[in-house]
Amino acid sequence: MRGPVRIAVLSILALAAVSCGGKKKEMAIEEKPVPVTVAPALISDILISKTYTGTLEGWRQARIYASIPEAVVELPVAEGNNVQAGQPVIVLDKEGRASQLRQGEAIYKDAMDNFQKMSRLYEQGAISEQTYNNLKTGLDVAKANYEAARQQVELTSPISGILTDLTVNIGQYVPLGVPLATIAQVDKMRMTIYVDGRSASFLKNGQPAQITAETLKHTPFEGRVTEVARSADPDTRLYRVELQIENSDHRLTPGMFARANITVEELKNILTIPRDAVFTVEGIAKVYTLNGDRAKEQSIELGAANRDRFQVLSGLVQGENVIVLGRSQVEDGTLVKIAQDSDSTGTVEAPAEE
């Protein structure tokens, strides 16, 4: 190789070496720590809550049925309005073939007139006491028959409340055995949920619950447990639980779909970490701990959880720090810098799952 060419090649190689060395030095200089916050694994108490679904009902509800197949001639109360106990809600044809109102009314009036006449004679001593008592019994029977016939055509509400459902129209012949109207007391509402045996053992009367309705999602209502079944349903193995919900402003109505969030378990003195510190890889729960100034990927075994914290069964010890904020920006071996310790204390009340 000629001298000038050789010199040129050596110069190029020298420049390349200098350039590569410069890049390596530059790369080493550019490694900057990722700012993160950490939180220690703590011994704490957590409340486990679950969300159950159901349909709201009035605290007391009454359904009206027909006992004779007659046509509707009057609907004195519109759906959604207040009803007083004993007030007619549906009036059927009093002259219809199935109605015995007119016949019962005639017999009752005749018995009343006869009794009034005989009462005057009884006061004068013209008839015996036995005859008088027989007439009075006949009047009572006639009155009872008349009232029964009237109740067959004047379908009244047994309770005071709101007419929440009306399924018939004027002119329609009512079906038998089918509810025609529903009256509900809605100052308080009722919700029935079904829970497993472990949860049922923790619930007790008076225990609070948070209720959200499907159409009022951003407005929680205060509820409480009023009854826990003593035995499970033999088919489902679940326990029936009754909840009462305050509804003085009548924003909740019967038939609404609702969710009830209720505490079902309290775990004491367990090792916990923030939920935000946990991630999964192929179904395995992991966290990043600290190895000096670098992140270290650590597999852990989790137990119960609420919205804020996980129970740790294995993989961590009390006081060991895990990365919380900044976790998604690091990987195993990443250089990190603790910016600020994450706040983590005490008992946390939050829902866990549906």
pLDDT tens digits, one per residue of 189-231: 999 999 999 889 889 999 999 999 988 877 889 999 999 999 9
Minimum mean pLDDT range among 129-138, 317-326, 338-347: 338-347
- Residue 354's pLDDT band (cuts 50, 70, 90): very low
- The answer to whether the beta carbons of residues 330 and 291 sit under 8 Å apart is no
- Please say if the pLDDT value at position 84 is more than 50: yes
Whether 3 is covered by a domain: the verdict is no
Token representation of residue 44: 């704490």
Higher pLDDT, 7 or 240: 240
Displacement of CA 94 from its chain's centroid (Å): 45
Residue 28 pLDDT: 53
Confidence check: pLDDT of 108 > 50? yes
Residues 190 and 261 in one domain: yes
Q: Which residue intervals of 124-229 are DSSP H helices?
A: 129-153, 197-202
Farthest-apart Cα atoms in the chain, separation: 163
Q: Which amino acid is at 163?
A: L
Q: Helix count (H) and strand count (E) of the chain?
A: 4, 21
Residue 96 confidence (pLDDT) above 60? yes
Answer yes or no: is 347 within a domain.
yes
0.85 exceeded by pTM: no
Q: Give kind and range of the element (H or E) at residue 61.
A: strand 42-64
**DSSP state at residue 138:** H
Residue 228 or 121, more confident: 228
Q: Is residue 2 part of a domain?
A: no
The pLDDT score that the predictor gives to residue 80 is 86
Residue-wise burial string across 204-222, b where 16 or more C-beta atoms lie within 10 A, e elsewhere: eeebebbbbbeeeeeeebe
DSSP 8-state assignment for residue 85: T
235 lies in the same domain as 300:
no
- In the structure encoding, which two tokens stand for residue 61, read together? 């509800």
Mean pLDDT of 178-191: 92
Q: Do 331 and 240 reside in the same domain of the chain?
A: no
Residue 343 has pLDDT above 90, yes or no: no
Residues 326 and 346 in one domain: yes
| Domain count for the chain | 3
Residues 147 and 232 in one domain: no
The answer to whether residue 344 scores a pLDDT higher than 60 is: no
**pLDDT confidence tier of residue 353, bands split at 50, 70 and 90:** very low
- Alpha-carbon gap, residue 138 to 115, rounded angstroms: 9
The CATH code of the domain that includes 324 is 2.40.420.20
Q: Which residue, 267, 290, 321, sits at the end of a domain? A: 267
Model pLDDT, residue 352: 40
Per-residue pLDDT at 115: 87
Confidence of residue 2 (pLDDT cuts 50, 70, 90): very low
Is 122 contained in some domain?
yes
Task: State residue 346's pLDDT score.
Answer: 40
Cα–Cα–Cα angle for 234, 56, 81, nearest 5°?
140
The pLDDT of residue 6 is above 90:
no
Q: Of 144-153, 186-195, 267-276, give the lowest mean pLDDT range.
A: 144-153
What are the backbone dihedrals phi and psi of residue 51, each rounded to the nearest 5 degrees, phi first?
Answer: -110, 130
Residue carrying the six token digits 């679904």:
53
Contacts of 47 (CB under 8 A, 6+ apart): 263, 265, 266, 267, 306, 347, 348, 349, 350
CATH of the domain at 140: 1.10.287.470
Each residue's pLDDT tens digit, 12-38: 444 444 455 544 444 556 789 999 999
Q: For residue 340, tell me if it sits in a domain.
A: yes
pLDDT bracket for residue 48 (50, 70, 90): confident
Q: Give residues with Cβ within 8 angstroms of 160, minimum separation 6.
A: 82, 83, 84, 85, 185
| Tokens representing residue 227 in the block | 């009854």
> In whole numbers, what is the pLDDT of the chain averaged over residues?
85
Q: What is the mean pLDDT of residues 61-66?
A: 92
More confident residue, 280 or 96: 280
Helix (H) or strand (E) holding 206: none
pLDDT of residue 347: 40
pLDDT of residue 340: 63
Q: How far is CA 191 from CA 125, 209, 223, in A?
A: 64, 11, 9
Instruction: List pLDDT tens digits, range 288-331.
Output: 999 999 999 999 999 988 888 999 999 999 999 999 999 999 99
Segments forming the whole domain that contains residue 102: 66-166
